[in-house]
């Protein structure tokens, strides 16, 4: 299945799909070994995908939010953890490319690294604060020492940590009584990764702990100050529902093919002729259509009507809530079509079932979204 695409998008995605054909075949081993998709990430780098949203003048493809979501959905159909992992890098690049919020020297330096293959992600989550979207103050501390900043702390859920080259670390700055973001290179003394990621789903994202022990950072890498500003919704985070929708599409495709080809000897034909199977698949199709339209219509409006961003920002969380929950429902229905065979360890549906549920724990959380929607209606 695919959503509305221009000819240019179709050509790019066709080439991308050719480049990622091997991902599906590696997914089972990746899941069983609790490993990391090093080969997948390298093949995406060889293809140039990490530069998708980097501006053309900075050496990138100049891809849009819509391009990004289409690609994320396609990658997730072959390997959900790989899609979610690389999505944080590509989305971060998109956000920085659009806003260019730092000093030009450092901004240009970062984009130069990305154009040469560097991978980046923000390290914001901590065990003591929970999701950064809840507004908790970082326990990671940055202290000024001469012309350098000294960072100490531990970050959880640092997705892509086995291959990241640059970390954007949030820390509390006591002397300013505010939160800041620091650019930290992987090879700096005191930076290490502790392999703590041990999950029943999305294990291949490599979201281990980043440990900072007296890490010295130059003044110029104190790239951003929060200044007490409230966190604003970010459209690039739609890569999260796009990923889980891709997993749902993979489950749907498996179930449809199964229904067409499974011939129990109690029936004169395949199970696709059964009314209950047709109803279940019809419900899956309806949910997929609803999810696709909601996700891509909001993305399209976000791109074409920047003057409406404030109003559209209320819909970003709603898209994530709706698409992720529909994706969970679609995978569940796919398993009902396939039956007990879907629980076999060799069957990809049981992996899709575990992976898709991880979406509930990616930001924004369901309760926060529902509360926001209620308040926008009531006040």
**What's the 3-state SS for 192-216?**
EEECCCCCCCCHHHCCEEEEEEEEE
φ, ψ of residue 70 to 5 degrees: the values are -60, -45
What is the rounded CA–CA span in Å between residue 212 and residue 216? 10
- What per-residue confidence (pLDDT) applies to 290? 98
Q: Name every residue whose Cβ is closer than 8 Å to that of residue 184 and which is 6 or more positions away in sequence.
A: 151, 166, 167, 168, 169, 191, 212, 215, 217, 221
Q: From 251, 262, 120, select the one nearest 185 (Cα to Cα).
A: 120
Kindly write down the DSSP assignment for every residue of 42-72, as one continuous string: HHHHHHTGGGTTS-GGGTS----HHHHHHHH
Query: Own/partner pairs for 229-234, CB < 8 Å, 24+ apart?
Result: 231/132, 231/133, 231/135, 232/313, 233/313, 233/314, 233/316, 233/317, 233/364, 234/95, 234/316
In 10 A of CB 344, how many CB atoms?
Answer: 11
- What per-residue confidence (pLDDT) applies to 94? 98
Contact in structure between 176 and 54 (CB atoms under 8 Å): no
pTM of the predicted model, to two decimals?
0.96
Tokens 């000093």 -> residue: 103
Contact in structure between 356 and 200 (CB atoms under 8 Å): no
**What distance, in Å, lies between the first and last C-alpha atoms of the chain?**
40
- What per-residue confidence (pLDDT) applies to 143? 97
User: 305's torsion region: left (phi>0), alpha (psi -120 to 50) or beta?
Assistant: beta
E-strand stretches of the chain: 120-123, 141-145, 148-158, 166-173, 178-185, 191-194, 208-218, 222-225
What is the rounded CA–CA span in Å between residue 237 and residue 316? 8
- What per-residue confidence (pLDDT) applies to 6? 87
CA atoms within 13 A on the CB side of 18: 7
Angle at 277 between CA 272 and CA 280, to 5 degrees: 135
- What per-residue confidence (pLDDT) applies to 212? 98
> How would you write the pLDDT of the chain (379 residues) with one tens digit per residue?
567 788 999 999 999 999 999 999 999 999 999 999 999 999 999 999 999 999 999 999 999 999 999 999 999 999 999 999 999 999 999 999 999 999 999 999 999 999 999 999 999 999 988 777 666 789 999 999 999 999 999 999 999 999 999 999 999 999 989 999 999 999 999 999 999 999 999 999 999 999 999 999 999 999 998 776 677 789 999 999 999 999 999 999 999 999 999 999 999 999 999 999 999 999 999 999 999 999 999 999 999 999 999 889 989 999 999 999 999 999 999 999 999 999 999 999 999 999 999 999 999 999 999 999 999 999 9
- What per-residue confidence (pLDDT) applies to 1? 55
Contact in structure between 118 and 168 (CB atoms under 8 Å): no
Q: From 261, 211, 247, select the one nearest 324 (Cα to Cα).
A: 247
DSSP at 364 = S
- What per-residue confidence (pLDDT) applies to 3? 72
According to DSSP, the residues that pair with 75 across neighbouring strands are none
Q: From 281, 374, 188, 305, select the one nearest 1 (Cα to Cα).
A: 281
């Amino acid at each position: 299945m695919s959503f509305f695409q221009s000819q240019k998008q179709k050509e790019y995605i066709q080439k991308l799909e050719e480049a990622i054909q091997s991902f599906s075949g590696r997914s089972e081993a990746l899941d069983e070994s609790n490993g990391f998709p090093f080969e997948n990430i390298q093949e995406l780098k060889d293809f140039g995908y990490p530069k998708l949203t980097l501006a053309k003048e900075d050496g990138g493809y100049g891809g849009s939010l819509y391009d990004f979501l289409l690609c994320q959905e396609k990658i997730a159909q072959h390997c959900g953890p790989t899609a979610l992992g690389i999505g944080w890098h590509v989305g971060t690049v998109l956000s920085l490319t659009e806003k260019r919020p730092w000093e030009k020297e450092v901004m240009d330096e970062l984009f130069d690294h990305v154009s040469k293959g560097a991978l980046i992600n923000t390290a914001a989550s901590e065990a003591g604060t929970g999701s950064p979207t809840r507004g908790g103050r970082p326990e990671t501390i940055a202290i000024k020492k001469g012309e350098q900043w000294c960072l100490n702390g531990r970050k959880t859920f640092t997705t892509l940590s086995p291959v990241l080259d640059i970390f954007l670390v949030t820390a509390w700055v006591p002397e300013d009584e505010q939160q800041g973001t620091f650019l930290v290179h992987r090879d700096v003394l005191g930076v290490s990764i502790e392999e703590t990621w041990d999950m029943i789903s999305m294990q291949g994202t490599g979201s281990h702990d980043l440990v900072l022990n007296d890490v010295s950072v130059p003044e110029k890498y104190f790239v951003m100050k929060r200044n007490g500003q409230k966190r604003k919704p970010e459209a690039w985070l739609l890569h999260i529902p796009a990923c889980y929708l891709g997993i749902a599409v993979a489950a749907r495709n498996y179930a449809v093919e199964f229904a067409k080809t499974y011939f129990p000897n109690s029936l004169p034909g395949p199970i696709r002729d059964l009314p209950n199977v047709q109803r279940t698949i019809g419900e899956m199709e309806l949910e997929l259509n609803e999810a696709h339209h909601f996700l891509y219509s909001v993305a399209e409006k976000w791109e074409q009507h920047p003057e409406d961003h404030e109003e559209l920002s209320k819909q970003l969380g709603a898209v994530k809530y709706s698409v992720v929950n529909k994706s969970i429902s679609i995978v569940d229905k796919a398993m009902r079509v396939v039956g007990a065979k879907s629980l076999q360890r060799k069957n990809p549906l049981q992996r899709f079932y575990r992976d898709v549920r991880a979406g509930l724990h990616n930001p924004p959380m369901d309760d926060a979204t529902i509360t926001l929607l209620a308040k926008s209606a009531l006040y």
